[in-house]
Every structure is written in C-alpha cells, then in structure tokens.
Amino acid sequence: MALLIAVAACSAVSTGAPVVTPAMSHASGASADKLTAGRRVFVSRCIECHTLPAINEHTPAAWPHIIARMSPRADLTAAERDALLSYILAARQP
C-alpha cells in the first residue's frame, strides 16, 4: 500500500508539476529558489487529501482563492503559501 501511494505520487509529480526552469523564473519575476520552494510545497503538501491538483484546470484568477482555502488545511506558513502561489502561476501553461 505504501508502495502504491509512492508510485502514484511519483507519476503525479512528473506529469502535474513541471520542474522550475530559468525561463519560468524570468517570465514570472520570482527567483528560481522561491519557485522551487513553492513546487516542493505543492508536491508534498497538496496530496495529503486528494491527488495533485491539475494546475491548468483553474484560471490564474481562481488560484489565489483556492490557495487561500487550502492553505489552512495543509497547515502552510505565510511564506510557503506565497511561494506556492508564485510557483502555480509561473508553472501554469497559457
């Protein structure tokens, strides 16, 4: 069972959370370190209750509200929440 969860989480990571690139950092104006921290929060903390959310299934306008609603559930600090939002908006495909 633990193995199944690990495999599922792994495949979700490779498909659902693009790795941070210099272009992503440049386009978003956020540092690569901050985006990488946000990605780490996303793939480790947002899979506790459901599968990794699909970034493109929600608009840039909707994401801040979703993150405001989910951050207390995932027990995120203000810095984690801020990095997560930056990552999601930077990783979202137009």
Using rule CB under 6 A, residue 91 touches ligand HEC: no
Q: How far is the CB of 42 from ligand HEC (least distance, A)?
A: 6
68-77: list long-range contacts, CB under 8 Å, 24+ apart.
70/46, 73/49, 74/41, 74/45, 74/46, 74/48, 75/45, 76/41, 76/45
Closest alpha carbon to 37 in 24, 20, 53: 20
Residues numbered 36-75 forming contacts with ligand HEC, rule: CB under 6 A: 45-46, 48-50, 53, 58, 66-67, 70-71, 73-74
Q: Measured from the CB atom, is 4 or 75 closer to ligand HEC?
A: 75
Q: Measured from the CB atom, is 22 or 93 closer to ligand HEC?
A: 93
Spatial contact of 38 and 85, defined as CB atoms under 8 Å apart: yes
Using rule CB under 6 A, residue 86 touches ligand HEC: no
Per CB under 6 A, residues contacting ligand HEC are 45-46, 48-50, 53, 58, 66-67, 70-71, 73-74, 76, 84
